[in-house]
Amino acid sequence: MVFQKFSIIFVPKMEHRLTIIEQACDLFLKHGIKSMTMSDIANHMGISKRTLYEQFQDKEELLEACLTAHNQLACDEIRRIAESSEDLITIMMRMYARQLNDTHQVSKTFVYDLKKYYRRIYLQMEQSHGERLDIFMPLFQRGIDEGLIRNDIHLEVCLWLMKSQFRSLMLDDFMPTDRISVSEFARVIILNFVRGIATIKGYKLIDESVEKLRGQ
């Protein structure tokens, strides 16, 4: 894979490392991992391979740093949204918009490569995603208290079912993503989830949030 070469960037060492992580993460997510070489990343950034290897001993170490940073950013944003004073439905729809954005950024090739060639890192990421449930469960209780979330369903089971649908979407060839976009599947999965756990009182807020998102 060939990238346009840019002029060399001179930045402080730590900032340089963070810049590499940010740009390498974008490349991995878009193009996959196996086809992306350290030379590709260095050329894309306009730095030498030597400079890249001074920061990371190999592609696996760079990949792990990328995913750790990406996961931390995601968790920080989820917590920031969750800690707002808005009602639970509005919070969930903001998370819905974020999930759609993430789906646009991640290629199926990336997920396939991660699972097949970097199993240890893949399992670490799966564990970190499971830990995010600890953020959502208190939120759901808040939604129940607000009268927006049903109290007659097993919410943790619902979360795992939604997670399994996303795994099937990114890992399997069963869904016809050649004629229906991954983002459209993701949109329906999330909306069905939110509507499925909401009360009648919550439906109105969901519809209002969907209209706002369409207008953006």
> Which pLDDT tens digit goes with each residue over 44-79?
999 999 999 999 999 999 999 999 998 888 888 888
Confidence of residue 16 (pLDDT cuts 50, 70, 90): confident
| Alpha helical stretches, state H, the chain | 13-31, 38-45, 49-55, 59-82, 88-105, 108-117, 119-131, 133-145, 155-171, 182-197, 200-215
Residue keyed to tokens 């740009």: 23
Confidence of residue 3 (pLDDT cuts 50, 70, 90): very low
For the stretch 171-215, pLDDT in tens is: 777 888 888 888 888 888 888 999 999 999 999 888 888 887 676
- H/E stretch holding 4: none
Secondary structure in 3-state letters for 95-153: HHHHHHHHHHHCCHHHHHHHHHHCHHHHHHHHHHHHHCHHHHHHHHHHHHHCCCECCCC
* Phi, psi for 6 (deg, rounded to 5): -110, 165
The chain-wide mean pLDDT, for the chain, equals 84
**115 vs 168: CA distance, rounded Å:** 13
**195 vs 128: CA distance, rounded Å:** 26
Amino acid at 46: G
For the stretch 76-100, pLDDT in tens is: 888 888 787 788 888 888 887 777 7
Give this prediction's pTM.
0.76
Tell me the average pLDDT across 18-29: 95
Residue 130: the pLDDT is 66
| % of the chain residues with pLDDT over 90 | 40
